[in-house]
Amino acid sequence: MNRGHPVGAADYVAVHAGAQPEAAAARDLTTGRRWTYREFDRAASQFATLLAARGVVAGERVATLAKNRAELVLLHLACARLGAIYVPLNWRLSAAELAGLVADAEPRLLLGDESLARAQLNGINLEEFSAEARALDPLRPASPDPEAPSLILYTSGTSGRPKGVLLSERNVWQTGLNFSQLARVTHTSVFLCDAPMFHVIGLVTNIRPVLMRGGSFVVSDGFVPARTLARLADPELKVTHYVCVPQMAAMLRADPCFEPERLRGMTGILTGGAPHAAEAIRAWCRDGIPIADGFGMSEAGTVSCMPLDVDLIAARPGSAGLIAAALNVQIRAADGRKCPVGTVGELFLRGASLTSGYWRQPEATREAFDVDGWFRTGDIAYLDDGGYLWPVDRQKDLFISGGENVYPAEIECALAGYAGIVECAVVGVRDEQWGEVGHLAIVPAANTTHDLDSILGWLDPLLARYKLPKYVSIVPALPRNGAGKVVKSVLKAMLTDSSRTAP
């Protein structure tokens, strides 16, 4: 399905291992380990040796369930060198959700940390695997097909069934090129990555651009505002780029340790994945720190990004920036016609960073592309006369809480077995801390009472915590259209003035 002018799918780590073998490539702040490009290239090949010894061949899946660590990047590179497919799993999910993903991916190997035990999954300890790999000779396999999938990123579907986004090495390196052009990534760039590495932001956006350019990345095991601020300002780390969701940026500013002058040496902070208030953006600009909103998705990688210039950012707060040069973009009306500049419509994409489809879901894949290979994003946006992208809304019902996509259908399906509810619906509502949270509306059965605590008790073992609704309201009926579908825009308006409970 991919169209356009793709970048070559070379193994850039191997290239830099030859061109600048002693340059810093990676550093893990949790374990204290560091790698030059020579060492990182060798480690990826040693991981490939051990994967092959464990029976992994081209096309097979290797799944992980672990908190951030540099070895997750090595595993992805090793899988790519074997032609295998890397599958990072979201450790925030419930045991039931994770069991479903493992059954769908059917991995040859499952590796992880203590998250495996919490999810009641059997797998190989990642630290032990890494130690075993370090004692092996590096494997130098023949170059695999760059168009073959090397990564599956699971994203929840509106029907409640997760979809595995298939990405090839050509796709992910093209995202590296797209982002590096827009975000001024060079061989001197240093990325701090504490975004979870089961997301496209953590595993691809934070890693592939800087490896492509010969810079380095620093891995953190998670976001802690004061600790992250200290690392961004650390003259020894020399962090130039930090990619996060707007809620994380807000937490950095709100922390008592925030001192803007200590961050002015950065190339920029880049945000995406959730709405970002214009005044919050202007505040960063007044402090002289470029904070650039962008737009991307698992299926397409980086699509757009604001220029890293405080004056340009302050002039268009809320814009997702300029489109990557290698991507073709169309804004279409409901009848399929291209919209003129300034007119809102659905965003369609075509280019070498685009997914080839969804793992074992041919119907979903067919629905995602039109006959000419354009990908339907489901996002509503417009382009202004300067070529800047402005996201407006999402066509689907999903909402984003703390950078995580939440699909109401998943929550509604989980409540199907809850006694005493005739019907229910979930909508996203604004929240100061998380951007959006879930508001559950229920139509109760006769002579029943409900409260949020009991509903959360039912949902907690079935769903990740970020999916749990924050509010619940009792309504006499759900608003429906002529086709019988719930009109969630009307429901959201109803809930604005209704009484609601929260824990």
Q: Are residues 117 and 251 both part of a single domain?
A: yes
Does residue 502 lie in a domain region? Answer: no
Q: Domains in the chain: how many in total?
A: 2
Domain stop point among 351, 372, 393: 393
Domain of 264, in residue numbers: 12-393
For residue 101, give the CATH number of its domain: 3.40.50.12780
Please tell me whether residues 368 and 451 are part of one structural domain: no
Residues 387, 492, single domain; the answer is no
pLDDT tens column, 189-216: 999 999 999 999 999 999 999 999 999 9
pLDDT at 3: 37
CATH of the domain at 459: 3.30.300.30
User: Do 206 and 273 have their domain in common?
Assistant: yes
Angle of helix 70-82 relative to helix 126-134, nearest 10 degrees, comes to 60
503 domain-assigned: no
Establish if 166 belongs to a structural domain: yes
Residue 237 within a domain = yes
For residue 89, the model assigns a pLDDT of 97
Identify whether 176 is part of a domain: yes
Three-class HEC string of 271-332: ECCCCCCHHHHHHHHHCCCCEEEEEEECCCEEEEECCCCHHHHHHCCCCCEEECCCCEEEEE
Residues 117 and 209 in one domain: yes
The answer to whether position 433 is within a domain reads yes
Q: What share of the chain is helix, strand, coil (3-state, %, to 5)?
A: 30, 25, 40
How high is the pLDDT of residue 312? 97
The reply to whether 1 falls in a domain is no
Last residue of a domain, one of 372, 393, 414: 393
Judge if 187 and 54 occupy the same domain.
Answer: yes
Neighbours of 501 (CB within 10 A): 14
Check whether residue 387 and residue 412 sit in a common domain: no
Same domain, 164 and 144: yes
Average pLDDT for runs of 10 along the chain of length 503: 43 95 98 98 96 96 98 97 96 92 98 97 98 92 85 72 94 96 97 95 97 98 96 98 91 94 97 82 96 96 97 95 97 94 95 97 96 94 96 75 83 81 90 92 89 89 92 90 68 74 52
Please check whether residues 251 and 389 belong to one and the same domain: yes
Token pair recorded at residue 108: 């040859």
Pair (141, 110) in one structural domain = yes
Q: Are residues 422 and 313 in the same domain?
A: no
The reported pLDDT for the residue numbered 278 is 85
Domain co-membership, 360 together with 446: no
Reported as a single tens digit per residue, the pLDDT across 152-185 is: 999 864 345 789 999 999 999 999 999 999 999 9
Q: Please give the pLDDT value at position 4.
A: 35
Structural domain contains residue 182: yes
Distance CA 118, CA 115 (A): 5
